[in-house]
Amino acid sequence: MVLTFVEHADGAPDALSLQALTLARGFADGEPVQAVMAGPGAAEAAPALGEYGVATVHVAELDGGYAPQAWARAVAELAGRIGPAAVVAAGSDRGNEILAHAAVMTGAALAANCVAATPGDPAGVTRVRWGGSLLEEARLHGALKLLTVAPHALAMEPAPAGETAIETFGPELRPEDLVVQVSERVDTSTGGLSLAEAPIVVSGGRGVGSAEGFGMLEELAGLLGGVVGCSRAVTSAGWRPHTDQVGQTGTKISPDLYIPCGISGATQHMAGCKGAKRILAINADPDAPILANADYAVVGDVGEIVPAITAELRRVREAS
């Protein structure tokens, strides 16, 4: 049996957790898959897991806000009681955090951000390194295996399980489990389109030349209904805030169209934009690595090309 920690929001399971269930079912290899959930709204989201091959959902009754160690205690205690071969979670911020705590509590090894896993002793896993620029094949040892699943590596595959049983339980917490707990939520939303969710992103790199140079990218992004992003070189230079950074240590984006301008395409940057459906690179260097990872390219000076595209787009729109 394989136990999966499932995250949820607004009464529905998270997409990344449903992707994790795809790997969990494969790892279970015909054995049952159970789920564990916590937090307000878990009971409402639980029945939907029947469509994804989950026969039993365990809902942890925990008061208060998110407390990583308390949630992990619930997962670890349940795992100790029902004895799964593996505990799986999404490779999300919380999934990785909770399974790392649970690994310590259960004395297990944890393989984070797996893209494939085969059961056995040891189990075989393939996991992401360097934000996805490299894959590691590894052996995962121990009676209990813990693994998280790299975001967007697997599809959410429906697998109806028939009737889903929902069982609640109250984990026995230790005082130290509640020391780290969300005590306050600060709303910082601007109401605008976020970089992570924008359908079109126009990004600038060192090749844009200056902070002022981003004005032309803002203009093009505005016309296309997109937002502006940037490379790490740009945030390090202080031209744009870190919240605009696309990359391994910035925001991971998955727009329909990504337009990197004056960005060479280092692995650090590509780790942030490999989810883009199409990439149109604008770069002075025809040999820049970005061209080997883009669908389309325009070669030349960003400062000439971007304003020309904006002008042409305006002209075509006015003519039609």
**8-37 positions binding another protein, by CB under 8 A:** none
Shorter beta-carbon distance to another protein: residue 34 or 148 = 148
**196-225 positions binding another protein, by CB under 8 A:** 196, 199-200, 224-225
Q: Is the Cβ–Cβ distance between 253 and 229 less than 8 Å?
A: yes
Residues 212, 319: Cα–Cα separation, whole Å: 30
317 in contact with another protein (CB under 8 A): yes
143 in contact with another protein (CB under 8 A): no
135 in contact with another protein (CB under 8 A): yes
Half-sphere exposure (Cβ direction) of 81: Cα atoms closer than 13 Å: 13
Residues 198, 173: Cα–Cα separation, whole Å: 41
257 in contact with another protein (CB under 8 A): yes
| Angle (deg, nearest 10), helices 93-106 and 68-82 | 50
| Angle (deg, nearest 10), helices 93-106 and 15-28 | 40
Which one-letter amino acid corresponds to residue 98? I
Shorter beta-carbon distance to another protein: residue 3 or 305 = 305
**261-280 positions binding another protein, by CB under 8 A:** 264-268, 270, 274, 278-280
The stretch near another protein (CB under 8 A) out of 18-26, 80-88, 137-145, 156-164 is 137-145
Q: Which residue in 102, 111, 119 sits closest to 148, CA to CA?
A: 111
Please state the closest distance from residue 304 (CB atom) to another protein, in A: 5
142 in contact with another protein (CB under 8 A): yes
In the numeric block, the tokens 């939303």 are attached to: 189
Residue from 10, 172, 184, 318 in contact with another protein (CB under 8 A): 184
Residue from 61, 63, 93, 121 in contact with another protein (CB under 8 A): 93
53 in contact with another protein (CB under 8 A): no
CA distances from 197 to 94, 193, 269 (A): 19, 7, 17
Residue from 41, 158, 222, 300 in contact with another protein (CB under 8 A): 300
